[in-house]
Amino acid sequence: MAHELSAGSVFAGYRIERMLGAGGMGTVYRARNPDLPRSEALKVLAAELSRDLDFRARFVREADVAAGLDHPNIVAVHQRGQFEGRLWIAMQFVDGGNAEDALRAATMTTARAVYVIGEVAKALDYAHQQGVIHRDIKPANFLLSRAAGGDERVLLSDFGIARALGDTGLTSTGSVLATLAYAAPEVLAGQGFDGRADLYSLGCALFRLLTGEAPFAAGAGAAVAVVAGHLHQPPPTVSDRVPGLSAAMDAVIATAMAKDPMRRFTSAGEFAHAAAAALYGGATDGWVPPSPAPHVISQGAVPGSPWWQHPVGSVTALATPPGHGWPPGLPPLPRRPRRYRRGVAAVAAVMVVAAAAVTAVTMTSHQPRTATPPSAAALSPTSSSTTPPQPPIVTRSRLPGLLPPLDDVKNFVGIQNLVAHEPMLQPQTPNGSINPAECWPAVGGGVPSAYDLGTVIGFYGLTIDEPPTGTAPNQVGQLIVAFRDAATAQRHLADLASIWRRCGGRTVTLFRSEWRRPVELSTSVPEVVDGITTMVLTAQGPVLRVREDHAIAAKNNVLVDVDIMTPDTSRGQQAVIGITNYILAKIPG
C-alpha cells in the first residue's frame, strides 16, 4: 500500500473516516468497526516495519500483552491483524487531542500538567503491576478527552511497543525504542531496565509540559547531545524557567530523572503525589500527604519482591533538591552515574542500601495540630521556674548542615579520592532479601519499616564513596532522621537497638536474584559507649571480603545512623564514632 488511506476506503474491514495522525511507527485513522456501531482508532504500521520478521513477531506478542490491560486510564486494544502486507491494531477511539497538542496550543497550564501526569501515573502503576513496561512515555501518548461531567479524561496510549517484564525472547536489551527526548539513561546505554525507566520518561514529560521544552534540548540533528544529556547531565530545573514554580518541583523532577533507577520514586503514584504537593503544598516544607497512613510504605512489601509490587502510596515526601542546602565543602555531583558491576560491588551496595537510598522526607500533616510551633516553644519559658527550657526542635531544612564536609569525611576514613552522590528523595525497600527478615536495619539505615513515618518531619541521607575499581569500595553512609519530638527519637533508637541485639552475634544471609550465591554476614554483639550503639558486620566469603562498622545514636529529636565500609578495621571503627560524634555535636540540646 504505497499511499495513505483516504476517507471512505476500507482496510481490513474497517471503513476509514479520517486520519488522526502519523509518525515513525505508522498512521492512525478514525475508522468504523466492521461489526459494531462504533468508531475506533486504527493504527496501520509502516510498511518497512511490517516487512521485518522480527518486528512482526514482537508486535504480535506485545499487542497481545497490551490487549490484556484493562484500566480506565489506558486506551483499550480491541483487535490486531495483518492486511495486504501491513500490520494493524484497532484501539479505543478517544475523541480529543493529546497533551503535546494542548501544549502547542498554549492551553497546558501548570495545574493541568500536574493533573495529566497524575492520571498517567495511575495507568503506569497498573501496567507495572501487570508486569508491563510502556517504553514510550511522552506527551503525544497522553490522550485528552472531556467526560460527560466536564472533567478531563486522560488515557495512556500506544502500548504497541510495550514489553512484558522479563520477556527477552524477541528484543535485545540494547534496542532503543523510546523517543530520545524522554528515554531513560539505562535504556540508552543498552543496560537492563524495568518500570523505573517509565518513571524517568514521565519526569521528562512533566518537565516538557511545565516548560514547553525538552529536558535536554539540542539543535537539529544533535541526537548525540541529547543522549549525552540523559547519560551525564544533572536533571534540569523548572523554577528558573516558569514563574511560580519552586525548588520543591525541581526536587520532584530531579528524583524522577535520577540517573540511577534506585534513586527514583518507587511508583508513578508516589511521583504524582509529590508533584501535586510541590505545586499546591508550598515550596519549602515539602508536601502534605492527603491522609495520614503512617505505615503504608512497608505494608505488603515482601523482601525480594519486585519494586512495583509494593508502591509507597501517599506517605512520602521530598525536600531540598540536590545541590541545595548541602554541607559546605561538597563538590559538584559526579557527571557519570555509578554503574556497579554485578557481584562484589553489588553486594557492597546492598550492605549500605539504606544510607544510599534515603534523603529528605517531610510529613508536616502528622505534627500535632494544637502544638506550639517548635521555634516558639523553644523560646517561651514554661510556667514552672524549675523546668529548664527545651532545645529547639531540629527541622528538615537544618538536616543537611549537620553532616560533616567532604574533606572532614576524607580525613575521618583516611581516603582522599571520595566523591559525594546526590541524595535520594524517598526511602526504599532494599533490593533483595535478608534472613532473618527483621535484620535489615542492622545492615543499613533508612529501611522504611524501621520508622513510624507518621512521626517523621525530616529525612536526609548521603553516600560518599570511591570511584568504582572492581573491588569493594570504601564507602560512608550518613543518615539523619528528624522526628516530631525528642521522646519519639529516643523511642526509635530503643526500637532499633532492640533489633540490633536480636540480630547481633549471629550470621545473617543476604540474597539477590542476580547473585550466584548468597552472602553471609557475621554480626558482632552491639556495644554502647557514650550513648553510641555500634555493631560490626563482616563478610569473608568468596564473593566479598569486607567489614562494615555501623553506629546509631539520638539527640534531641534527631536519630543519627552512620555506616562505613573499609578493609582497614581500625580506621572504620574510629571513623564511624568520629562522624557520629561530629553530627551529634551539631544538634542543639
Amino acid identity of residue 353, one-letter, is: V
- Residues 586/402, Cβ–Cβ less than 8 Å: yes
* The amino acid at 484: R
Half-sphere exposure of 146 (CA within 13 A, CB side): 3
Dihedral over Cα of 164, 426, 204, 285: its sign: positive
Report which secondary-structure segment, H or E, holds 373: none
- d(Cα 571, Cα 492) in Å, to the nearest integer? 28
Backbone torsions φ then ψ of 402, nearest 5 degrees: -80, -20
Q: Of the residues 52, 70, 95, 136, which is catalytic?
A: 136
**Cell digits for 163?**
514489553
* Cis bond before residue 436 (omega within 30° of 0): yes
What span, in angstroms and rounded, lies between the C-alpha atoms of 138 and 187?
15
**Cα 124 from chain centroid (whole Å):** 14
Annotated catalytic residue 198: no
Q: How far is CA 54 from the centre of its chain?
A: 33
Distances (CA, A) of 115 to 144, 147, 156: 11, 15, 13
Q: Identify the H or E element spanning 480.
A: strand 475-483
Considering only CA atoms, give the Rg of the chain. 26
Burial class (CB in 10 A: 0-12, 13-18, 19+), 101: middle
CA distance 128 to 264: 15
Whether the Cβ atoms of residue 99 and residue 108 lie closer than 8 Å to each other: yes
Region of 168 on the Ramachandran plot (φ > 0 left; ψ -120 to 50 alpha; else beta): alpha
- Whether 438 and 316 have beta carbons less than 8 Å apart is answered as no
Strand, helix or coil at 143? Answer: strand
In angstroms, the CA 233 to CA 334 distance is: 9
Active-site annotation, residues: 136
